[in-house]
Amino acid sequence: MDNLNTVFGTYLLSISVILILYVLSYARYSKKLKDCQDDLND
């Protein structure tokens, strides 16, 4: 049972890390896009 919890935790950790990287990448891109659009409007 302990091992099964460890396995669940590992899967959760893996998908969390991947999703966090996606969110960070998206946030960085969104900020840059907004900056560029602001530059175009100025």
Partner 1 sequence: MYQFVAKYLVLNKVFKFFEKVTLPSLIIGLIGFCFASYLALYVLPADAQQKEIYRILFVHVPSAILSELIYIFLAINGFIYLVWRTKISAIFLNAAISIGLIFTALVLVTGSIWGKPTWGTYWVWDARITSTFILLIQYVGLLALRSSFSSHQTADQILSIIAIIGAINIPIIKFSVDWWNTLHQNASITSSGSSIASEMLYVLPIMLIALLFLSFAIFGRNIQFEILNRSSNTRMIKEVLNG
Min CB(32)–partner 1 separation in Å = 5
16 binds partner 1 (CB under 8 A): no
CB count in 10 Å sphere of residue 39: 8
Using CB under 8 A, count the residues that bind partner 1. Answer: 25
CA-based torsion, 29, 30, 32, 36: positive or negative: positive
Token duo for residue 26: 């998206």
Q: What is the CA radius of gyration of the chain?
A: 18
Binding string, 18-37, against partner 1, x = CB under 8 A?
x--xx--xx-xx--xx--xx
Interface ranges with partner 1 (CB under 8 A): 3-4, 6-11, 13-15, 17-18, 21-22, 25-26, 28-29, 32-33, 36-37, 39-40
